[in-house]
Structure 1
Amino acid sequence: MKSPHEMSGLELLRAAVAGQHPRSSMAETMSMSFVEADFGRVKMLARADNRHLNPLGGVHGGFAATVLDSVTGCAVHSTLEAGDGYGTIDLQVKMLRPVPRDQELVAEAHTVHVSRNIATSEGTLKSADGKLLATATATCFLKRK
């Protein structure tokens, strides 16, 4: 198998979907896994558990923000060539409902605009039955090889 630096973003994400590439430590921490990857579009599953609670016992807002940062960033990554990199420079998250604990959640994102140096994407986090929990818009800088 090629190293991640030798793969396009889409190749790397599709390898992750197929289970041919190990999950990142962040994906382990946040209980996230890829289920679909296409050019400019990514779908992930996530599950909040006891590690993600705030002091009052609810799922911390940082859980939704992190999942949405991951899925919006990966949507951008899916458009990049091998050796190109990216990083989030702005993430705007709107929390709409409490995130449930110990339930499968669906995170989806798509790119809105990709230029030479900047890309934007939008994402949603929903419950398994389709209730909208949070939305996000992200801006990423692009580091071309």
Structure 2
Amino acid sequence: MQATRERLVRWEDPLSHLAGFEGMTGLQALQAIVEGRVPPPPIANLMDFTIVEVDQGRAVFEGLPGEHHYNPIGSVHGAFALALFDSAMSCAIHTLLDVGVGYTTTDVQVRFIRGISKDSGPIRCEGTALHVGRSTAVAEGKLYDGSRKLLGIGTTACAILRR
């Protein structure tokens, strides 16, 4: 086995597609990504994950861990899982936002239960919005391996950005 590996990441200019979201609710914008009408954000290509389901108050992301996600102790770095958590939980909130309303993550808390390796299979993170108010929102997430074993749980808070 070769010791050195190389990886090429391609993505589309994320700013060139912003106009395509004009007039869309958060749910409509995320559906456009799921359906392939709008390309995914570059972070999804970089970290090998994608949004696979959206509905009111719910977003599901799946990622495929590889050795390029490994940390120095031989397991997938927590940042891979954290990116899935942040994406699923914040997008669950996004599905409930009206046209022209944005958000930004202010806090993420995650509890890891099991480690992840390249053999864990597709990793699935299911985010559910718990509260969306005028200025803040809260969501929770659950992370599963390919056998539906629970890998971790998390919560997030987001600031709601109204124009």
Pick the aligned partner of 2:103 from 82, 86, 108: 86
User: Secondary structure at the residue paired with 2:51?
Assistant: strand
Aligned length: 145
2:157 matched to which residue of 1?
139
Conservation of the 8 A alpha-carbon contact between 2:53 and 2:59? yes
TM-score normalised by L of structure 2: 0.84
2:60 matched to which residue of 1?
43
User: Larger relative CO (CA 8 A, sep 6+): 1 or 2?
Assistant: 1
Unaligned 5+ residue runs, structure 1? none
Conservation of the 8 A alpha-carbon contact between 1:30 and 1:67? no
2:128 matched to which residue of 1?
110
Conservation of the 8 A alpha-carbon contact between 2:145 and 2:151? yes
Give, as a single letter, the amino acid of the residue that structure 2 aligns with 1:58.
S
TM-score normalised by L of structure 1: 0.94
1:66-112 deviations in Å (ceiling 9; x for gaps): 11011101001111112211111110000000012152111101101
CA RMSD of aligned residues (A): 1.4
Conservation of the 8 A alpha-carbon contact between 1:41 and 1:111? yes
Conservation of the 8 A alpha-carbon contact between 1:119 and 1:142? yes
The separation in 2 between residues aligned to 1:30 and 1:88, in whole angstroms, is 19
Conservation of the 8 A alpha-carbon contact between 2:61 and 2:87? no
Kindly indicate whether residue 32 of structure 2 is the aligned counterpart of residue 7 of structure 1.
no
Kindly indicate whether residue 82 of structure 2 is the aligned counterpart of residue 69 of structure 1.
no
1:38-84 deviations in Å (ceiling 9; x for gaps): 01101111111122110122101111111101110100111111221
The separation in 1 between residues aligned to 2:78 and 2:160, in whole angstroms, is 27
Give, as a single letter, the amino acid of the residue that structure 1 aligns with 2:75.
G
The separation in 2 between residues aligned to 1:37 and 1:46, in whole angstroms, is 16
The separation in 1 between residues aligned to 2:68 and 2:83, in whole angstroms, is 14
Write out aligned runs for 1:15-54 (5 A): 15-54=32-71
Please state which structure has a larger fraction of its residues in strand: 1
2:115 matched to which residue of 1?
98
Compare CA radii of gyration and give the structure with the larger one: 2
The separation in 2 between residues aligned to 1:48 and 1:136, in whole angstroms, is 19
Conservation of the 8 A alpha-carbon contact between 1:44 and 1:71? yes
The separation in 2 between residues aligned to 1:32 and 1:6, in whole angstroms, is 27
The separation in 1 between residues aligned to 2:159 and 2:67, in whole angstroms, is 33
